[in-house]
Amino acid sequence: MSIMRKKIVAGNWKMNLTKDQSLELVNEISKNVDNLSEETEVIVSPSFVNLSSVVDSTSRNKKVQVAAQNMHFAENGAFTGEVSAEMLESIGISTVILGHSERREYFNEGSHLLTKKVEQALEHKMRIIFCFGEKLEDRQSNNHFDIVREQLQDSLFHLNEVDWDSIVLAYEPVWAIGTGETASPEQAQEMHAFIRKLVENKYDDEVSNRVSILYGGSVKPANAEEIFSKPDVDGGLIGGASLNASDFTAIINAI
């Protein structure tokens, strides 16, 4: 059976790039993806302050979508410094990254909080790129499958099947993020197949075959093709290499 899952290459710009740099980068990327096939989606994720400008500059190029890196769980209110789903919606953002390991690690975002964010995003009909993945010590102690199972169960497995149309999974082993150490294509495939099976066991094979599972952690032009060639790897969430137009384009072309 051939499965038509969406292929996605998403660039997480993290806390990088000024407004001018963001616009320059997205313009370069837009030029390079003009001939991309319909099945492949390209996403960039600038900082909050640059979202609006990047959305405006990509409005004529439907090939490049724009996502936020985070959002608050509340509708509005006294949460100084935070950004709501409604605010994102109002500037044309319909995709949000939630659960990134840097949010979990530096801003204490745990399952309870992430569940509330997931619910708020769905309430606003936003698509969620949900990140999760084990730390080095979890892999060394052979707990990586348990950790990943818990992260998914805690924040996503209360959702119904229709909600899953709005979910993209991003497996990002923490030990591979920004370290230059990538999971081997075999390690990525093994975990992605495990994740798909978890979803199948919880729901059914229609849901599990439809959900795109991205790999993130030191993806670069030199290793993208091999990782993306694995059957359960449906694309990538790219950090460092997404800040350079030619590297990011090479990664997109690898898919």
* Contacting residues toward ligand 13P, per CB under 6 A: 12, 100, 172, 177-178, 216-219, 237-241
Q: Which two tokens stand for residue 108?
A: 């204490």
In order of 33, 169, 192, 219, 221, the CA distances from 216 in angstroms are: 21, 10, 12, 7, 13
Nearer to ligand 13P, 97 or 122 (CB): 97
Which residue's CB comes closest to ligand 13P?
239
Minimum separation from the CB atom of position 139 to ligand 13P (A): 16
Catalytic residue among 100, 109, 144, 192: 100
Burial label for 18, CB within 10 Å (0-12, 13-18, 19+), is: exposed
Radius of gyration of the chain (CA): 17
Minimum separation from the CB atom of position 209 to ligand 13P (A): 24
Nearer to ligand 13P, 195 or 238 (CB): 238
Nearer to ligand 13P, 167 or 219 (CB): 219
Q: Are 128 and 118 in contact (CB under 8 A)?
A: yes
Minimum separation from the CB atom of position 168 to ligand 13P (A): 12
- 75 is known as an active-site residue: no
Provide the phi-psi class of 171: left if phi over 0, else alpha when psi is between -120 and 50, else beta: beta
Q: Are 12 and 237 in contact (CB under 8 A)?
A: yes
- 119 is known as an active-site residue: no
Minimum separation from the CB atom of position 44 to ligand 13P (A): 12
Strand partners, 237: 10, 216
Nearer to ligand 13P, 17 or 207 (CB): 17
Catalytic residues: 100, 172
